[in-house]
Chains A and B, each alone.
Chain A
Amino acid sequence: MKEFILILVSSVLVNNYVLSQTLGICPFLGVSKKLNQAVGMGMAVTFVMVIATAVTWPIQNFILSSFDLGYLQTIVFILVIAALVQLVELFLKKAVPALHKALGVYLPLITTNCAVLAVCINALKDNNVPDMGSATFLYALLYAFGSGIGFLLAMVMFAGVRERIAASKPPKAFEGTPITLISAAIVSFAFLGFEGLFSKL
């Protein structure tokens, strides 16, 4: 049980993909203008991260490792994730049209999101959490889920920050993108505070 909590805390807060590892910045800055869009994107990313890990974990452990082809990880994973997202989109269009409409353009956008690829690769490592032992399938899934939730958290938080920025009046030179990047940096600094969390546990 302790491991489960540790994995979640680690992936959501300490190693937050956007704010601590600076991956997946494109959707983080691109789709965080409005809260409902940010939530939609965050949910879609979480969803894709979990199913992508569920597929890439066995591919790595049963196919690539047994042929001694670990170095092909990146290219194979990109291939698989892209196909998978397409498949999910087709399935949703048929089975849950409402959800398909809600996710809209976000699903295909995620296809080439580096955060998804990074989660798939990192979920294979056994050092996600100190003293945890080897990464089993269940732990990998949990890690992917936590990372997705971390992404969602970052998106929602930053959407709130951006709504405040839109209402305020920064100096002329900082208007638009500059003030957005500066705020992103400050939010990222705030997440540095979680860094020392594990030494206390």
Chain B
Amino acid sequence: MPDFVPIITATIVVTAIGLLCSVMLVIASKVFAVKVDEKCEKIRECLPGANCGACGYAGCDSYAKALSLAEETNTGLCTPGAAKVAADISDVLGVAPAEITRKVARVHCNGNCDNTSKKAVFMGSQSCASAKLLYGGDGKCVYGCLGFGDCVTVCEYDAIHINNGVAQVDIDSCTACSRCVRACPNGLIEIVPVDKHTVVKCSNEEKGAVARKNCNVACIGCMKCERNCPTNAIVVKDNLARINYIRCIACGECAAACPTGAIEYNK
């Protein structure tokens, strides 16, 4: 008859220690429970989870947190999610859905291969950011689209492409996530309400004659658009026309008046 006592003692001792640990953990998880806001989690589920930062927060989690703590009241800040997400969030919070106008990215440059030309051949790393480092880029206009497609690389929706040397946005697939806005070293891209069809397709702040010499479709700062605008929405500052989209009614008067065709109006 072998001696079973040591085996039994060992089993009992280890079981007891294990049980003690588990009881301690169960109690601890109750005592130290951190309240996770249910609202916050529900809102987080509504959001697309792309963490693009278009809402102005660090990511979807922080936007959801701000909404649940009522630090943020606008439920319509998620541009990629658009109306559906805004409605879902408003449902969770029990508020009236914020009015959403769909926004898209617009490129403020029309310097394609026909309108402007290169001043040099850039042989370095094929990206806008590195081309920009060398005398502001290889194009004659240092304000314009560099054409290496940094915006194309960051776009997750395949909505922006380099077409004939200049970036063009595919309005239908653009979600206005702002990734391209941050990627463009010349700051050419702006997020604009989709129903505002008037866009200044130039970013050159040089004097009219210089700008025109470098590009056929440059804004020369003649202020014709400013005089023709019925709502005072367009203002020339630093030799460049700029549209205030809060005032703009997208009537197209400025585009019709522009002598160089720097303002685009396509309804």
Q: Kindly count the residue-residue contacts between A and B in the assembled complex, taking CB atoms under 8 Å apart.
A: 47
Binds A, one of B17-25, B136-144, B245-253: B17-25
Known: A69-B10, A93-B32, A93-B34. A76 touches B24 (CB 8 A): no
Q: How far is the CB of A27 from chain B (nearest CB, A)?
A: 24
B residues adjacent to A (C-beta < 8 A):
6, 9-10, 13-14, 17-18, 21-22, 24-25, 28-29, 31-34
> In the complex, which of the residues B9, B10, B21, B32 contacts A83, with contact meaning CB atoms closer than 8 Å?
B21
Chain A at the B interface: SS class: helix
A91 surroundings in chain B (CB, below 8 A): 28, 32
A67 CA to B29 CA in the complex, in Å? Answer: 31
Known: A69-B9, A83-B25. A90 touches B17 (CB 8 A): no
A102 CA to B189 CA in the complex, in Å? Answer: 37
Contact sample, A vs B, 22 pairs, CB 8 Å cutoff: A59-B17, A64-B13, A67-B9, A68-B6, A69-B9, A75-B14, A76-B17, A79-B14, A79-B17, A80-B17, A83-B22, A83-B24, A87-B24, A87-B25, A87-B28, A90-B25, A90-B28, A91-B28, A91-B32, A93-B32, A94-B31, A94-B32
B18 surroundings in chain A (CB, below 8 A): 79
B14 surroundings in chain A (CB, below 8 A): 72, 75-76, 79
B13 surroundings in chain A (CB, below 8 A): 63-64, 67, 69, 72, 76
A residues adjacent to B (C-beta < 8 A):
59, 63-64, 67-69, 72, 75-76, 79-80, 83, 86-87, 90-91, 93-95, 97
Q: How far is the CB of B69 from chain A (nearest CB, A)?
A: 15
A75 surroundings in chain B (CB, below 8 A): 14
* Residue of A with least CB distance to B18: A79
> In the complex, which of the residues A67, A72, A80, A90 contacts B32, with contact meaning CB atoms closer than 8 Å?
A90
A67 CA to B12 CA in the complex, in Å? Answer: 11
Q: How far is the CB of B26 from chain A (nearest CB, A)?
A: 11
| Given A72-B14, A87-B25, 7 new contacts (CB under 8 A) | A63-B13, A69-B9, A72-B10, A72-B13, A90-B32, A93-B34, A97-B34
* Residue of B with least CB distance to A88: B28
A79 touches B28 (CB 8 A): no
A94 CA to B29 CA in the complex, in Å? Answer: 10
